[in-house]
Amino acid sequence: MLNFTFAQTLFLGIGAAFVVLSVLFCILPRNRRFGVLSLLIANIFLWSSIVYCKNISNFLSGLGLSSELLTQDKLYLGITVGVGLFVIWFLLWTLVKKFLNKWFKKPNNQEQKQTSEQKSPSPQETIHKEPSIETVKSGNKEFVDPAIFKMIKEHKQD
């Protein structure tokens, strides 16, 4: 007969370590996304300690672990393994995040200013442009002619 103590306590310790560290990362404003994803991973470990303890015990006994080892309470080992897995998960997350940031890099403020200066027309060019309905509706001030407001005031007074 198999004893499920080892599988339950090991995965419970891993899940508990993940939950505590994930909550700490959820508090930090820059790492909330990482904290939430880590909580999801913690739920997987906690759920597997409850639901799949028999399957995990069968798998571990198939690997050749003695039944004496499978009856031991290994909560502290689980916490240690959980902290180690969390550190590996954090390193993986930062590497992937840095790689993706390089790949989808946003332009700097200086680059944006240079491109906007190149693209924006001079005030003399905008005076002679005919305003379209879309620019007037959007409230873009560079296309609004003061003569239009003067005509509207005269029309209201009549």
Q: What is the pLDDT of residues 46-87, one digit of tens each?
A: 898 888 878 887 887 888 877 777 777 888 888 999 999 999
Contacts of 56 (CB under 8 A, 6+ apart): 7, 11, 48
Among residues 135, 17, 141, 31, which one has the least CA distance to residue 82?
Answer: 17
Q: CB neighbours of 107 closer than 8 A, spacing ≥ 6? A: 115
Cβ neighbours of residue 60 closer than 8 Å, sequence gap 6 or more = 6, 7, 70
Q: How far apart are the C-alpha atoms of 26 and 38, rounded to whole Å?
A: 9
User: Which among 45, 66, 75 is positioned nearest to 57, based on CA atoms?
Assistant: 66
Confidence of residue 38 (pLDDT cuts 50, 70, 90): very high
pTM: 0.59
pLDDT at position 103, please? 74
Lowest mean pLDDT among 1-10, 100-109, 122-131: 122-131
| 135: confidence class by pLDDT, cuts 50, 70, 90 | low
